[in-house]
């Protein structure tokens, strides 16, 4: 029988066993981010964070569904510390899938109003986008517009363009309608929208704005930051299209304009949890919030930070005070309702 009586041999065996049982240490000065937001919409902020903190950000970008599936399949072995995504519905889906963990931060709670974060701290909104009515300046008078509900009226038959029901932005809008009006009334409204379509749903928000400018329809729904991006675009065609439309704020006398958030959460198995929280706190800081407003044409989630000149030019509006977490809770009901209404 072999006996390891030599102290050096014993130390070698102990070191080998320790290396096998202990997972490799990750650098304390790093944080790994999975982002469903396009790189150019977030990387400049991440670079500033690295410069100020010395913490290196390793960024992986991809589609929302793909990143969620990746986090689920990686499980405890996932290298991700932070998940960034573009809608409260996506954040809620990640929470429900068990890939996020609850964190608490006095800084985050101070800078982010309660209606723009998960009540239990699983995710935090980082920028606000509104989804108003966009209309053709030369064919529609503002006095013809009033509410989201009124877009289902017969006067808009053949004059409405919309994205498909696959759009999480439209799903969240419908979820908000369900929260305020119930499923029966919301389904009747959705059927009215479908009856008023000028063409089958297709394309993104910018495509809807371009369709209004081109005369394919007179009104649409789009997130404000898409219009802001078109106004500042280097593409002359996009600029010209943006100049032919205007923003109308619906429901200002009732529930308010539908708003949503881009946001982030710390992943369930984050190995660099402290750095992940530091990154979220930075993204909610005054500096980052100003960047969201000036560069991305998004409304700051922090009410102390003013909107950009472009955002101000559209006027002030009353935002819906519904906690955006509700949009995620009602997402499944919204998708089923849209399917029943024939919203393709």
**127-157: pLDDT as tens digits:** 999 999 999 999 999 999 999 999 999 999 9
Whether 18 is covered by a domain: the verdict is no
Please tell me the predicted confidence (pLDDT) of residue 28.
Answer: 54
Which tens digit of pLDDT belongs to each residue from 231-276?
A: 999 999 999 999 999 999 999 999 999 999 999 999 999 999 999 9
The answer to whether residues 118 and 218 belong to one domain is no
- Please list the residues that pair with 136 across neighbouring strands: 245
Please tell me the predicted confidence (pLDDT) of residue 23.
Answer: 40
Please tell me the predicted confidence (pLDDT) of residue 295.
Answer: 85
Domain that holds residue 204: 130-257+328-340
Max intra-chain CA distance, the chain: 95
pLDDT over threshold 50, residue 115: yes
Q: Which residues of 213-238 are buried (b: 16+ CB within 10 A; e: fewer)?
A: beeebbbbbbbbbbbbbbeeeeeeeb
Which tens digit of pLDDT belongs to each residue from 31-62?
A: 999 999 888 778 999 999 999 999 999 999 99
The answer to whether residues 221 and 333 belong to one domain is yes
The answer to whether residues 217 and 273 belong to one domain is no
CATH number for the domain including 291? 3.40.190.10
Which tens digit of pLDDT belongs to each residue from 165-221?
A: 999 999 999 999 999 999 999 999 999 999 999 999 999 999 999 999 999 999 999
The answer to whether residues 203 and 271 belong to one domain is no
Whether 311 is covered by a domain: the verdict is no
The answer to whether residues 56 and 156 belong to one domain is no
Whether 322 is covered by a domain: the verdict is no
Which tens digit of pLDDT belongs to each residue from 280-332?
A: 999 999 999 999 888 888 999 998 999 999 999 999 999 999 999 999 999 99
| pLDDT band for position 16 (cuts 50, 70, 90) | very low
The answer to whether residues 201 and 267 belong to one domain is no
Whether 315 is covered by a domain: the verdict is no
Query: Rg for the chain (alpha carbons), in Å?
Result: 24
Count of domains for the chain = 2
- Please list the residues that pair with 85 across neighbouring strands: 263
3-state helix, strand, coil in the chain (%, to 5): 50, 15, 35
The answer to whether residues 55 and 99 belong to one domain is yes
């Amino acid at each position: 029988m072999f006996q390891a009586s030599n102290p050096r041999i014993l130390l070698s065996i102990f070191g080998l066993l320790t290396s096998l049982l202990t997972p490799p240490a990750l650098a304390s000065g790093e944080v790994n981010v999975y982002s469903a937001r396009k790189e150019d919409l977030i990387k400049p902020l991440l670079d500033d964070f690295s410069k100020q903190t010395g913490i290196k950000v390793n960024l992986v970008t991809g589609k929302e569904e793909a990143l969620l599936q990746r986090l689920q399949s990686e499980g405890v072995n996932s290298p991700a510390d932070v998940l960034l995504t573009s809608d409260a519905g996506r954040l809620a889906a990640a929470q429900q899938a068990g890939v996020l963990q609850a964190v608490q931060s006095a800084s985050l709670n101070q800078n982010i109003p309660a209606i723009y974060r998960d009540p239990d701290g699983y995710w935090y909104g980082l920028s606000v986008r509104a989804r108003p009515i966009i209309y053709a300046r030369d064919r529609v008078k503002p006095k013809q517009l009033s509410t989201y509900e009124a877009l289902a009226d017969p006067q808009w038959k053949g004059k409405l363009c919309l994205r498909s029901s696959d759009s999480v932005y439209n799903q969240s809008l419908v979820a908000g309608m369900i929260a305020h009006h119930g499923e029966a009334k919301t389904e009747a409204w959705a059927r009215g929208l479908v009856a008023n379509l000028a063409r089958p749903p297709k394309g993104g928000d910018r495509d809807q704005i371009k369709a209004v400018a081109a005369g394919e329809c007179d009104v649409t729904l789009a997130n404000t930051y898409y219009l802001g991006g078109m106004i500042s675009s280097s593409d002359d065609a996009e600029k010209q299209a943006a100049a032919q439309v205007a923003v109308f704020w619906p429901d200002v006398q009732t529930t308010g304009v539908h708003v949503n958030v881009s946001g982030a959460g710390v992943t369930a198995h984050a190995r660099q949890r402290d750095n992940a929280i530091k990154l979220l706190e930075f993204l909610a800081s005054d500096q980052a919030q100003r960047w969201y407003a000036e560069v991305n044409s998004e409304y700051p989630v922090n009410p102390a930070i003013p909107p950009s000149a472009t955002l101000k030019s559209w006027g002030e509006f009353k935002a819906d005070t519904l906690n955006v977490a509700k949009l995620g809770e009602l997402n499944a009901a919204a998708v089923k309702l849209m399917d029943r209404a024939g919203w393709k």
